[in-house]
Amino acid sequence: MVSARPRTVRAVDTNQLLDLEQEAATLGFSQRLPVHWLRKHLDAEATHYVCPTIVHQLRHRPEVSPQWRCQLLLTVTTGEEIWGLLDVLPDTLDRLPNTLDAAVEKEIVNRLERATTQREWSERMSPEEMPRN
């Protein structure tokens, strides 16, 4: 049984992130962003980051427990970095390549602490400012 949260940050491209979000939606996880919203607003060429933050236990759903509740550092079409949350299965996270060294991981965590939330970013964007894809 997996119980200790990994201390890592994983870099993913936009397609990998969309796959993670789709898996979370399919499994009915509570922390995820809508895939259609991400397709519309993510910078398709950017690298995004997944950082496990807490162990999320679901006693009522042992088939998908535990999960890693992860913070996401996302780059949107305006070039800004925003953050959101995503629940990820441990095996899914393990399949993502671990390509970042400790110094880069620390810098990404620092950027996460300064980033605007996905909700705040969405609320302040007027319809005229919204990127058109």
Flag whether 132 is in a domain.
no
Flag whether 54 is in a domain.
yes
Q: Show the domain range for 26.
A: 10-124
- The pTM of the full predicted model, rounded to 2 decimals, is 0.87
Compute the distance between CA of residue 71 and CA of residue 66 in angstroms, rounded to an integer.
16
Contacts of 99 (CB under 8 A, 6+ apart): 10, 11
Please list the ranges in the chain whose pLDDT falls under 50.
Answer: 1, 128-133
Flag whether 133 is in a domain.
no
With beta carbons less than 8 A apart as the criterion, state whether 21 and 86 touch: yes
Flag whether 130 is in a domain.
no
Tens digit of pLDDT for each residue in 26-61?
Answer: 988 888 888 999 999 999 999 999 999 998 776 777
Flag whether 17 is in a domain.
yes
Compute the distance between CA of residue 80 and CA of residue 1 in angstroms, rounded to an integer.
38
Count of domains forming the chain: 1
Flag whether 15 is in a domain.
yes
